[in-house]
Amino acid sequence: MGIQQDITDRVASEEALKEAKILAEQASIAKSEFLASMSHEIRTPMNGVLGMLNLLLNSDLNAEQQHRINVAMSSANSLLTLINDILDFSKVDAGKLELEYLEFDLRGLLGDFAESAVIQAHNKRIELILDVTKIDEAVVIGDPGRLRQILTNLVGNAIKFTSDGEVLIEASLIEFDSDYWRLNCNIKDTGIGISPEQQAKLFQSFSQVDASTTRKYGGTGLGLAIVKKLCQLMNGEVSVISQAGKGSCFSFSVLLGKSNASFHVIPDVDMQALNILLVDDNKTNREVLKAQLEHWGASVFEARSGIEALTISEAYFDKRKKCFDIAFLDMQMPGMDGAKLGEHLKANEHLKAMKLIMMTSMCHKGDAKFFANLGFDGYFPKPATTFDLFAALSIVAEDGEALKDAKPLVTTHYIKSLKAQSALKPDQVAWGEGIRILLAEDNRVNQIVAQSMLAKINLTHVDIAANGEEVIQNLLNTTRETKYTVILMDCQMPEMDGYESSQAVRSGKAGELYKDIPIIAMTANAMVGDKDKCLEAGMDDYISKPIKPEVLFERLLQWLPYKEIES
């Protein structure tokens, strides 16, 4: 009897535990869904706030007004970052974040990322260094946007918590199995560091090392928690090694798919024959560049200052009766700077044949002309990216006899063509004749915002429909002569929503004329499957709110006829 009683108790408590677990899981899902829908609700009015501020900024303002709007813009943008963080966090938590699988150029992504992060670093006079020596493959498969998000968080923190010294991004790609690479990436800083007790709390949501840090540096404590979840989603992990006062090193790894389109990244220059001089006072920068150039086969010599560079160059000439093929000079060095050193080298009979490449930390208008006048053959802003190095080396190739007929670098062209595409500005575009846009949007403020954004890129023929039924009606009221060219379709609208009206258009309810009209969705959802939902409903493309003017412009370039003009 006693034994039976015991078992009944156990069964009962197991049942209770199971129930409690289910309740807790339900509560967790409900919490995530609540967060997701809240952040969605907030994004809609944010579109109005940011859009209107953008428009105000372009009107006639005095300095004080301009300043106030800039402050409001930056606050609105911080709020948006926070909302995006919360949305991301709740999405991953609810298992609703879907990764994209795209082919992309990993070195290119890291280079572009470093170029955008460097502004923040240089404002604090910190050196940002990118080391991609150990990435030999050009193309991988994964989610470039999410990878960039991880980098933005970790590198952003590294810069934020460093007031002196440098931040190094060190990436390597190693074979994982026949289908995957493993990307390992270290972000090392020389900043304030994190104590062991504090490290234990990192990577948890809403956790910051201490309240005083928050007051001084700002932030929400969500960044690292998101990074951890993103890494896990990509079958990797993130960890930290740090010492208070000495700096931190965050390391993360993710798996990336192998692509058939990949090829080895090597410059199309006979690197074995090249003797290169590197002049920089920053040791890490020298090491990284040296490793990369040596990895490609060149012989590299280092100098820590302008004076040392002159001595080494002379000694090299005395021994070999020729000078270095190419020299990379840092502009900002104590004592003799890069420009002065360049002048000395060009004034020296023995050394003036050296090709000179300038590396600058600060870019100013007129730099190109200034350096060209000094006799430099090329320049690039630090950190040195693969693209910069290839461009610099191709300068040598242009001269080399054997290399005259060398075919252009595949990679250089590839990166260049990518850059050229994104660089088109609104004033370089003349839209085709008779473009008419139908804007389907129920929110009054957002109607004005979208309309004004379109007007700014010279698209003024815009009609508005406040719901799906009006969309169909508007389309039916037009003729072949007054035909709409594209529909910008808000997804959430009363009466008939964007999905339903897109389906109606595709099935011919708005006439044969419009069965194939391009429809671009505009949605504040940004949730998993949203894009698919739009495509399934027959829409062709997708922009998430708040709408950014440059994204709208870039999407419209895909769908509207235009001609490039010289600006």
Instruction: Pick the piece of the chain touching ligand ADP (CB under 6 A) from 157-165, 308-316, 319-327, 352-360.
Output: 157-165
351 binds ligand ADP (CB under 6 A): no
DSSP codes of every residue in 452-499:
HHHHHTT---EEEESSHHHHHHHHHT--STT--SEEEEES--SSS-HH
Six-digit token pair at 513? 């004329």
Six-digit token pair at 20? 């409690």
202 binds ligand ADP (CB under 6 A): yes
Site for ligand ADP in 160-179 (CB under 6 A): 161
228 binds ligand ADP (CB under 6 A): no
223 binds ligand ADP (CB under 6 A): yes
Instruction: Kindly determine how many residues on this chain lie close enough to bind ligand ADP according to the rule CB under 6 A.
Output: 20
Question: 293: how many CB neighbours lie within 10 A of its CB?
Answer: 24
Of 126, 226, 208, the C-alpha closest to 169 is 126
Name which of 218 and 335 has its Cβ closer to ligand ADP: 218
Instruction: Give the separation between CA 337 and CA 120, rounded to whole angstroms.
Output: 23
Given 32, 47, 149, 153, the residue binding ligand ADP (CB under 6 A): 153
Given 32, 54, 149, 157, the residue binding ligand ADP (CB under 6 A): 157
Given 48, 111, 219, 342, the residue binding ligand ADP (CB under 6 A): 219
Q: How many helices, marked H, and strands, marked E, lie in the chain?
A: 18, 19
Given 224, 231, 534, 556, the residue binding ligand ADP (CB under 6 A): 224
89 binds ligand ADP (CB under 6 A): no
Residue with tokens 């002379």: 314
Question: 505: how many CB neighbours lie within 10 A of its CB?
Answer: 25
H or E element at residue 149: helix 144-160
Per-residue binding letters, 179-198, with ligand ADP (x by CB under 6 A): ----------x-xxxx----
H or E element at residue 326: strand 326-330
* Cα 10–chain centre separation: 55
Given 36, 46, 132, 209, the residue binding ligand ADP (CB under 6 A): 209
**Least CB distance to ligand ADP at residue 251 (A):** 12
Phi, psi of 381, rounded to the nearest 5 degrees: -75, 145
CB distance 210 to 224 below 8 Å: no
Site for ligand ADP in 230-269 (CB under 6 A): 248
Name which of 239 and 332 has its Cβ closer to ligand ADP: 239
Name which of 237 and 495 has its Cβ closer to ligand ADP: 237
| Binding-site ranges for ligand ADP (CB under 6 A) | 153, 157-158, 161, 189, 191-194, 202, 208-209, 213, 219-224, 248
